[in-house]
Amino acid sequence: MSTQQTNPMANEPSPDMIAEKRIYADWGLTDHEYDLIVDHLGRRPNYTEAGIFSGMWSEHCSYKKSKPALRKFWSKNERVLQGPGEGAGILDIGDGQAVVFKAESHNHPSFVEPYEGAATGVGGILRDIFSMGAQPIAVLDSLRFGQLDNAKTRQIVDGVIAGIAGYGNAIGIPNLGGEIAFDESYAGNPLVNVMSVGLVNQNEMKVGQAKGSGNTIIYVGAKTGRDGINGASFASAEFSSTEESDRSAVQVGDPFLEKLVMDATIDAIKKYGKSIIGIQDMGAAGLLSSSSEMASKAGTGIELNLDLVPQREAALTPYELMLSESQERMLLVVQKGEEQPVIDLFEKAGLDAVAVGTVTDDGRYRLNFHGETVADVDIDFLTNAPEPKLAQEEPARLKEASASQYQPNVADANQVLLDLLAQPTIASKASLFRHFDSQVRADTVVKPGGDAGVTRIRGTKKALAMTTDVNSRYAYLNPFVGGQMAVTEAASNLVTTGALPIGMTDCLNFGSPDNPEVYYELHQSVEGITDMAKRLNTPVISGNVSLYNETDNKAILPTAMVGMVGLIADNKNITRAEFQNDGDQVYLVGTIGDTFNGSEIQKMQTGEIAGQLADFDVDAAQANQDFVLQAIDAGLVTSAHDLSEGGLGVALAEATFPNDFGLQADFAGTTAQLFAEVPGRFVLSVPSKQATAFEQKMTETKAVVAKLGQVTKDTVIAIQTKDGQVTVDQKAAKASYQNAIPQLMAE
Amino acid sequence: MKAAVITFPGSNCDMDMYHALESFDVDVDLLDDQASDLSAYDAIFIPGGFSYGDYLRSGAVAKFSPAMDAVKVAAENGQLVVGICNGFQILTEAGLLPGQLLVNEQPGFICDEVNLVVENPDSNFTNTMSKGDVLKVPIAHGEGNYVTDEVTLKELEDNHQVIFRYQENVNGSMNKIAGITNKAGNVYGMMPHPERAVDALTGNDSGRAFFESLLHAVDQKARA
């Protein structure tokens, strides 16, 4: 065995070989991009340089293709303390406190390695939150899978659920909700979108900026290994069923280490906040993106000595060190001369904390390795990928869609309701989310399973409600209105708990933007979200884009997931979705028409979704939300549930389940309309003795509110309609709702 | 009452226990795994979580910490020692309580609220309750399946060391055991989390009875 020390870079292809064999193309750089780099440098890039450009210019890091759409988001109002562009956005919630949140996707890795893909998705978003100086207080997940009759899909579901549980439970941040839906378009491209919410004192907020020439760059946390090398480029390409997926591009998580890093980082900010100039987590493109972005945002330069980077494998090359996506690592910029106490604090927690470089004032990104400069490039050039102009084209299916609405078959309306309750997208997901610890930290007020999760803010009367939402079938039929509806639905979820929606984040999950029809869907979705965000005064303060979610050129449904946070000023107003008392009066807020295109009943009865999405009256939806909030604030409401998939019939049934009530109701619409879908409609229950006060309020609103009936102690859900009735045994309905997913998963 | 909560690296219910005790006006100190002298405390709490990551067997690393040596001394001195969830696992690993907690019969972490039935109302942890009382308490664990050998199981039952049983056996535990004490009755472990159920705002305050009993026991001891 040779003991001779060799340079790990000795076998790397030369700049000329990279050019001649187009190695850069394997990393996702186009010929045009490569030529731009050569022009800029005045020479061919070496292996390390070509690698760092491929990482930073990947869609995952640069957002070069989605930026034209992202610029349309509305991100400023009186509460916004930090908008997009940092680890997470921040909103003022009064009393010197702020809420920090962001959502992120981990779609590609979760298909290849469901457990680690999902686990590291949780880890990554948590680092985004605590890098801002915030204590994470909740995690939510928005998951999309193929149909459960597919064995591979069931395996992915199991792995993703176990991964989220394995990481989130161990680190001790409660899982407060989210949603899970199924559609065959996700079979080869499941979506794992994870949102995290944190709490910070405004005087302890941090950003990821490398200010001040001479200041020290400190690497903190796990050692760097060969996991997830160039994962950002992997996440910026589509899958093919004939090619083996790239397992080495998936990272491996260690929640124990992350907890140590999280606690120590928050502690360091509390104790040495003045010395700590900036913090950023090492996410996509690891050390490379964190260091270059921090310098770019501050208008400075960076010089790193890669020999000092903590390493857990031998002979790592600069390319690997820069592009590794090893987890649980943070980068700190610390005031020169004030490093030691910060380093000591991390070391006491058993973590590596090493000064690996300095901030410079020359705008260069310089990497030294074994005494040589292995990369020296302009930071602005590196961090601002050229934006290609991409074409948009309205998909033919939208132009040709029929305006007429699907007419459901409700001849056996009782069976329709039971069947809808068993549709996987509607059915209870409790058998899946019961694996997540929803109560650790002991602040959870409304647990998963309702419309939105609610956590109190200890020491105040305030509470925060949070939710994620999107119905991609609506967006498939009309991406603009689908965007409006996703925001409306998320806000409706919050309103039912008594919360005022205050802001949002998003994950834009789409197919390839190089397809003009997909690119059109992306832009339209963003415009629809923005339109509704402005109306509801809920700015978009952070977000994430995941493109290339397609296999064999077949894209997922357009899925612009919205994560929203609401503020409850007084926790005595917290309201739940389920009926609370026998005898309470039940009201419907909002009108219901024949809106069946894109609905669950259309999918269930025809196997497809088709036609134009019905017109959506945003003013009416907003008036309904305002009314619900006012009624809750006035203390008149004992339960509030919004209508979503499956419509009024499903919403009423769901409200009876947790506390096992019956229902006697008269609905002025048709039996079919019990299953029509339109967001921004609500079912409220009101104690009999408050009914007069409530009905007085009904006369003072633009919202259309109608009495439906009352909660009973019977075991029957009975709904009379204009042209028929639905009468089902409450226990049978509940069984249908609860047993569907466990039965499908057991196959 | 003066209490200590021991935070191991990876503990994540330490602050929940701290806040719960504070809500009873208990004087609480948070200590770390290097704590060496616990003689000043009436009760010592080992909280839930994943001590040292629990990548081996749950609690198997924590038992070697200096703090656990100090806990053993405290247990011998007759001070109250309470292990919740991972704390229970640590106490069995450390040999302060008999038996072991295996992976749930249906493998997988479960977070839920379950009914506990009071088996022994005379313990330091149930003295304000009656036999057969039912408390709805949160659980959150993947390894809560209590097992022991038949001789020990019989001893536990004969000595009334079984304090709570699950009404429905959520994790496959022998004799539906949810919480046990040592023979002397001063060391107690349970998988459920009473510290998560002390405030009506969160929808459940049925864990308060547990703390009230414990406070009562300490108070009685001080008077004795």
Average pLDDT over all residues of chain B: 97
Give the Cα-Cα-Cα angle B174, B176, B181 (nearest 5 degrees). 85
For domain A84-196+428-574, give the CATH number. 3.30.1330.10
Mean pLDDT of A351-362: 97
Judged against a pLDDT cut of 70, whether residue A3 lies above it is answered with: no
- Tokens 């006491």 label which residue? A348
B64 touches chain A (CB under 8 A): no
Please answer whether residues A218 and A331 qualify as being in contact, where contact means their C-beta atoms are separated by less than 8 angstroms: yes
pLDDT at B162: 98
How many beta carbons lie within 10 A of that of residue A626, not counting itself?
A: 15
Using the Cα atoms of residue A211, residue A214, residue A219 and residue A224 in order, give the sign of their dihedral. positive
Under the banding of pLDDT at 50, 70 and 90, the label for residue A6 is: confident
Mean pLDDT of B110-134: 98
Nearest to B12 among A172, A257, A444 (CB): A172
pTM of the predicted model as reported, rounded to 2 decimal places: 0.96
Nearest to B16 among A256, A257, A442 (CB): A442
**Cβ of B111 and A259 within 8 Å?**
no
Mean pLDDT of A66-72: 95
What would the pLDDT profile of A587-624 be if each residue is shown by its tens digit? 999 999 999 999 999 999 999 999 999 999 999 999 99
**Active-site residue, A435 included:** no
CA distance B156 to chain A (A): 30
Please answer whether residues B99 and B152 qualify as being in contact, where contact means their C-beta atoms are separated by less than 8 angstroms: yes
Q: Tally the C-alpha atoms within 13 A of residue A449's C-alpha that lie toward its C-beta.
A: 23
Judged against a pLDDT cut of 80, whether residue A251 lies above it is answered with: no
Backbone angles phi, psi at A156, to 5 degrees: -65, -45
Mean pLDDT of A129-157: 97
Judged against a pLDDT cut of 70, whether residue A234 lies above it is answered with: no
DSSP secondary structure, A200-267, as one string: EEGGG-------STTPEEEEEESPB-STTTTHHHHTTS-B-TTS---GGGS----HHHHHHHHHHHHH
pLDDT at A168: 96
pLDDT at A1: 42
Judged against a pLDDT cut of 50, whether residue A193 lies above it is answered with: yes
Q: Which residues of B150-172 are buried (b: 16+ CB within 10 A; e: fewer)?
A: eeebeebeeeebbbbbbeebbbb
Domains identified in chain B, total number: 1
DSSP secondary structure, A341-376, as one string: HHHHHHHHTT-EEEEEEEEESS-EEEEEETTEEEEE
Please answer whether residues A104 and A121 qualify as being in contact, where contact means their C-beta atoms are separated by less than 8 angstroms: yes
**Cβ of A435 and B201 within 8 Å?**
no
- Tokens 């005045």 label which residue? A42
- Tokens 């499941």 label which residue? A190
A459 touches chain B (CB under 8 A): no
Cross-sheet strand order for the sheet of A444-446: A444-446, A453-456, A463-469, A559-568, A500-509, A540-546
Domain containing residue B166: CATH number: 3.40.50.880
pLDDT at A249: 63
Mean pLDDT of A293-311: 96
ipTM of the complex: 0.96
Average pLDDT over all residues of chain A: 95
**How many Cβ contacts (< 8 angstroms) between chains A and B?**
87
What would the pLDDT profile of A711-730 be if each residue is shown by its tens digit? 999 999 999 999 999 999 99
B141 touches chain A (CB under 8 A): no
CA distance A39 to chain B (A): 50
Provide the residue ranges of all domains of chain A, joining segments of one domain with +: 84-196+428-574, 576-747
Judged against a pLDDT cut of 50, whether residue B74 lies above it is answered with: yes
- DSSP structural state of residue A613: P
**Active-site residue, A641 included:** no
pLDDT at A283: 84
Instruction: Determine the residue type at A603.
Output: K
pLDDT at A2: 44
**Parent domain of B107:** 2-223
Cα(A267)–Cα(A213) distance, integer angstroms? 25
pLDDT at A511: 97
A437 touches chain B (CB under 8 A): yes
Judged against a pLDDT cut of 60, whether residue A425 lies above it is answered with: yes
Q: For residue A260, which residues of chain B lie inside 8 Å, CB to CB?
A: 9-10
Indicate the pairing of strand A682-686 with strand A540-546.
Answer: unpaired
Please answer whether residues A546 and A582 qualify as being in contact, where contact means their C-beta atoms are separated by less than 8 angstroms: no
B73 touches chain A (CB under 8 A): no
pLDDT at A248: 59
What would the pLDDT profile of A23-49 be if each residue is shown by its tens digit? 999 999 999 999 999 999 999 999 999
Paired strand residues for A331: A219, A280
Question: Which residue from A minimizes the CA distance to B106?
Answer: A435
Please answer whether residues A47 and A12 qualify as being in contact, where contact means their C-beta atoms are separated by less than 8 angstroms: yes
Q: For residue A349, which residues of chain B lie inside 8 Å, CB to CB?
A: 9
- Among the listed ranges A598-602, A669-673, B57-61, B82-86, which one has the minimum average pLDDT value? B57-61
B54 touches chain A (CB under 8 A): yes
Instruction: Out of A60, A108, A523, A641, pick the active-site residue.
Output: A60
Active-site positions of B read 85, 193, 195
Using the Cα atoms of residue A374, residue A379, residue A385 and residue A386 in order, give the sign of their dihedral. negative
What would the pLDDT profile of B178-206 be if each residue is shown by its tens digit? 999 999 999 999 999 999 999 999 999 99
More confident residue, A493 or A244: A493
What's the CATH superfamily of A576-747?
PurM-like C-terminal domain (3.90.650.10)
Mean pLDDT of A300-315: 95
More confident residue, A468 or A248: A468
Give the Cα-Cα-Cα angle B26, B27, B28 (nearest 5 degrees). 100
More confident residue, A206 or A393: A393
Mean pLDDT of A697-718: 96
What would the pLDDT profile of A521-572 be if each residue is shown by its tens digit? 999 999 999 999 999 999 999 999 999 999 999 999 999 999 999 999 999 9
A428 touches chain B (CB under 8 A): no
**Cβ of B140 and A440 within 8 Å?**
yes
What would the pLDDT profile of A647-661 be if each residue is shown by its tens digit? 999 999 999 999 999
